[in-house]
Structure 1
Amino acid sequence: MANKKGKRRFGSVRQLPSGRFQIRYPGPDGKMRSGGTTYATEREAEKQLSLIEAKLLTGDWTDPKRAKVKLSEYAAKWITERPDLRVRTVEIYRGLLRRHIVPYLGNVPIGKIDTAAVREWRAELVSAGVGASEVAKAYRLLRAVLMTATDDLIIPRNPCRIKGAGEEKPDERPVLTVAQVFKLAKMMPEHLRALVLLATFASLRWGEVVALRRKDIDLNARTVTVRQAQVELDTGELIIGPPKSRAGLRTVALPQAIIPELKRHLGNFTGPEPEALVFTGKRGGVLRRANFRRATKWGETVTTLGVPNLHFHDLRHTGNTFAAESGATLRDLMERMGHDSVRAAMIYQHRTAGGNRAIAQAMDDMINDDPDDDDGSAGGLALVG
């Protein structure tokens, strides 16, 4: 049935054999779309076309067909369409989806997810005993997925609007004293003592320190260069790749006080080849977290140290704290720690080693002047024996 008022300037209305009216209109991509419902009168259909035209003009239009896609399907595609994600990040995202999002919201069409549904989902996670940090991570992932759905014009706005829901408030992590760092190193098996010192005083992540090669350590210049990192997946697969971020590619100055122990380690436990791994398992294989914990009796050892809840990552945290206390600039600290800055260009600027060297010197002073070092194990580096 032709429109009696003549051709519309936007879209069209046609009468179906049933007697009801259907609309068709061009989306922002120029493709023609049919309305998702029909109308009893032509006037109602015309009114709906006018509303759609207004939304297109204001940028508030959303695609009704794509809004019917289930969240589980869209979220899975969201992950696969991000090729720059690190393998470990993909594993984490898929785990969060599988454990915390899909069981509750996976079968819900994206267009049906509103703030009330998100609030109820989050409350269910909390009541189920999911840890606060895990809930925050799941919320941030859902928010990111739905933000893309907003950008894709599938939903009008992101329903993840719960204030503070994505914030993590982790417990305050312990910071060791200089004396405790050296005492802990001394409590390690001989082939792992230097690992503790290097992870602490160079502020290295686990994946960075276990991926180091002989060529990465320059004893004369007193530096360690981070070129790659080891990632261990839940499946047990080990992947060697670039550091966590572009800022992770860095050269860190080392305090003189740990150089003798590094020299001893390289001479006794590291192969002569430039590509030889600096730290390995007892039999020379790649060092894994589980093997490290077993070899060091980590839980028992840190309890004896007096810090029973100490995690390996707390060594980096301790080193970061030492560096911050040296009075170095924020810029030098971020470079040393391998952190990305909002001013990403700063990462690539040519930097002098002055600030970095000042941090290492301050650490040396801290080590030599530590008042808690009763047995002289820090200043004298009495680790052998």
Structure 2
Amino acid sequence: MADQKIPPIGVKLSGDIEELAGPKGTSFRARVRWTIPGSRKRRSLSQVHETYEAASDWIEKMQLAAASGLDPHVATMDLAAYGKANMKLALRNLEQKSIGAYLAGWRKRVVPTLGHIPVRMVTFGVVDRAVQGWIAEAVGRSSIKNSLAVLVRVMEQALRDGLVDRNPARVTGWQRDYTQAEDELDDPRALALPNWETLKRLADALVAASSTEYPGWGDVVIFAACTGARIGEVSGCRVRDIDRAEWTWTVRRQTTPAPGGLIDKGTKGKRAREVPIIEKIRELVDRRIALTDGTKDARLFTGPRGGRISTAVLRDATSWDDVVGRLGLEHLRRHDLRHTALTWFADAGVPVHHLQKIAGHGSLTTTQRYLHPNRKTVVDAGELLSEHLSGSGAEPTAMESRSLPELDAEVIDLKSAKPGERARAAARSYWRRFGQYPNVPTLVKLASVSRGTAWNALAELRERPAV
């Protein structure tokens, strides 16, 4: 039968309907017969229906399918069988690195949810309900995308075969529902590690739990949690990507599973990005570079035997689930190391649009969902609004009061300068002394400028690093 799935166009089917009497009432068996071209072999296909009209419609559909060159057996296939028979054709021209993810989505989500449904009965509503079910089961956004992508390709082939008149897998709006579900179910900040000491304790415990106590596992964890990178991107880091003059890392590639093993491909956003390397991990980076063979293309982070690493490799090699359970961090996933860094960056005062570039997010709303304002930020915002509405400036603290005269002395030579220059100079002096910028009322007093000038100066300075 496999060699006759697509008979010559124009094959004719003969049909008949048989009335069946049974204990549950009358039903109707619709049957079609045809002769295989070039032989005398006859084939038939039948299906029972509740009404005569339904049986007649089925015969008509079978005749139309055969007239367009489609085997009637194919016309009645369920989605799982049709996908199995046509997957190679459906995935033609697809990059090899994407095939593995698509097939996983098909096997783990599409077939269990929709595989039993005949291809002709797959509708927009059916696909909508399937996606909503995946969202409710907390399936990742990327996994849903891959599952829908392979379903779109299979149904596109069904469209070409004439089984459907449009592609019902091209559903829209589900990502808004996904975002709403995430907002309702998750508090992303709660998943981040609280501090550096906890991170070190986790890294040491993972190293101790590995079979050879390989220190590289701890280095991977610390590096990921301080750069906001995905584990695959950490694995893809090479010596040439590290700039030790400016202490930045240009993220250009990631390691990802594919048919046949792990491969390197571009970053998730298809764009390179620069990430700062903070002082606490610079010694780690120096040490990792010293352990390489000295070439620019050498990987900074590898397994004990020099192989590529992935989140699954890290999990299995370090007994991740057992270790985080013992440390009281049962919620912690490997991806939460990335979230830890992004949360720490946000709490350090990095503007959200700068953080978006560091994280490599395509949308600013993604960064905003990851990074909620902490309680102090909310309280400070309320105090600033109260000061603005009351028209009174906040009184400086005792430490500020002792230091403001010294700050005045630093900017005294700028009294003749323009107000904006004077405000920026005063704010920089304040930063050098206190490690943060002043609020608007304090800068008004310090630089003798208007509230608007102070506001604009602070906004401009926060757009770029303090000097």
Q: Same fold (TM over 0.5)?
A: yes
Task: Give yes or no for the alignment of 1:181 onto 2:199.
Answer: yes
Q: Is the 8 A contact 2:248 2:276 kept in 1?
A: yes
Q: Is the 8 A contact 1:271 1:277 kept in 2?
A: no
Q: Is the 8 A contact 1:110 1:155 kept in 2?
A: no
AA aligned opposite 1:184 = L
Alignment of 1:121-136 (within 5 A): 131-133=137-139
1:76-108 residue CA offsets vs partner (Å, 9 max, x unmatched): 378515635x62x43232233234434665576
1:226 pairs, out of 215, 229, 251, with 251
Q: Is the 8 A contact 2:110 2:151 kept in 1?
A: no
SS at match of 1:224: strand
SS at match of 1:322: helix
1:338 pairs, out of 360, 365, 370, with 360
Alignment of 1:146-157 (within 5 A): 154-155=164-165
Whole-angstrom CA distance in 1 between matches of 2:125 and 2:75? 18
1:105-142 residue CA offsets vs partner (Å, 9 max, x unmatched): 5576654433565578789x88xxx9452798287458
Partner of 2:232: 207
AA aligned opposite 1:251 = E
* Cα distance, 1:103–1:221 mapped onto 2, change above 3 Å: closer
Q: Which moved more, 1:138-147 or 1:306-315?
A: 138-147
1:311-348 residue CA offsets vs partner (Å, 9 max, x unmatched): 111101111222233443443222211222499xxxxx
Partner of 2:91: 80
Partner of 2:58: none
* Cα distance, 1:312–1:157 mapped onto 2, change above 3 Å: closer
SS at match of 1:133: coil
AA aligned opposite 1:241 = K
Whole-angstrom CA distance in 2 between matches of 1:143 and 1:276? 39
Whole-angstrom CA distance in 2 between matches of 1:117 and 1:312? 34
Stretches of structure 2 that go unaligned for 5 or more consecutive residues are 1-13, 15-66, 208-213, 366-430, 437-467
Partner of 1:251: 274
* Cα distance, 1:109–1:230 mapped onto 2, change above 3 Å: same
Q: Is the 8 A contact 2:356 2:364 kept in 1?
A: no
Whole-angstrom CA distance in 2 between matches of 1:261 and 1:134? 32
SS at match of 1:276: coil
SS at match of 2:228: coil
SS at match of 1:246: coil
Partner of 1:321: 343
AA aligned opposite 2:105 = L
Q: Is the 8 A contact 2:102 2:150 kept in 1?
A: no
* Cα distance, 1:102–1:321 mapped onto 2, change above 3 Å: same
AA aligned opposite 2:195 = V
Alignment of 1:278-297 (within 5 A): 278-297=300-319
* Cα distance, 1:225–1:161 mapped onto 2, change above 3 Å: closer
Task: Give yes or no for the alignment of 1:239 onto 2:226.
Answer: no
Q: Which moved more, 1:72-81 or 1:258-267?
A: 72-81
Bigger Cα Rg:
2
Higher relative contact order (CA 8 A, sep 6+): 1
Stretches of structure 1 that go unaligned for 5 or more consecutive residues are 1-17, 19-63, 344-360, 367-385
Whole-angstrom CA distance in 1 between matches of 2:312 and 2:173? 38
Identity %: 25
Whole-angstrom CA distance in 2 between matches of 1:336 and 1:313? 16
AA aligned opposite 1:215 = R
Whole-angstrom CA distance in 1 between matches of 2:124 and 2:306? 54
* Cα distance, 1:262–1:121 mapped onto 2, change above 3 Å: closer
Q: CA deviation at 1:238?
A: 1.5
The normalised TM-score by structure 1 is 0.56
1:152-205 residue CA offsets vs partner (Å, 9 max, x unmatched): 895358488798697364655511012312332343343333322221111111
Whole-angstrom CA distance in 1 between matches of 2:244 and 2:168? 53
* Cα distance, 1:79–1:245 mapped onto 2, change above 3 Å: farther
Whole-angstrom CA distance in 1 between matches of 2:299 and 2:253? 12
RMSD of aligned C-alpha atoms? 4.4
Partner of 1:277: 299
Q: CA deviation at 1:215?
A: 1.8
Whole-angstrom CA distance in 2 between matches of 1:241 and 1:117? 34
AA aligned opposite 1:318 = T
Q: Is the 8 A contact 1:204 1:337 kept in 2?
A: yes
Whole-angstrom CA distance in 2 between matches of 1:244 and 1:121? 25
AA aligned opposite 1:238 = L
1:222-266 residue CA offsets vs partner (Å, 9 max, x unmatched): 111212211123x5611122222213x112112122212222333
Q: Would you say how many aligned residue pairs link Structure 1 and Structure 2?
A: 275
Partner of 1:299: 321
Partner of 2:405: none
Q: Which moved more, 1:293-302 or 1:161-170?
A: 161-170
1:288-328 residue CA offsets vs partner (Å, 9 max, x unmatched): 54543344332333223320231111101111222233443
- Which protein is richer in helix relative to its size? 2
2:103 pairs, out of 86, 90, 94, with 94
Whole-angstrom CA distance in 2 between matches of 1:82 and 1:177? 46
The normalised TM-score by structure 2 is 0.48
* Cα distance, 1:340–1:108 mapped onto 2, change above 3 Å: same
AA aligned opposite 1:250 = R
SS at match of 1:277: coil
1:113 pairs, out of 109, 122, 129, with 122
Whole-angstrom CA distance in 2 between matches of 1:280 and 1:133? 29
* Cα distance, 1:111–1:322 mapped onto 2, change above 3 Å: same
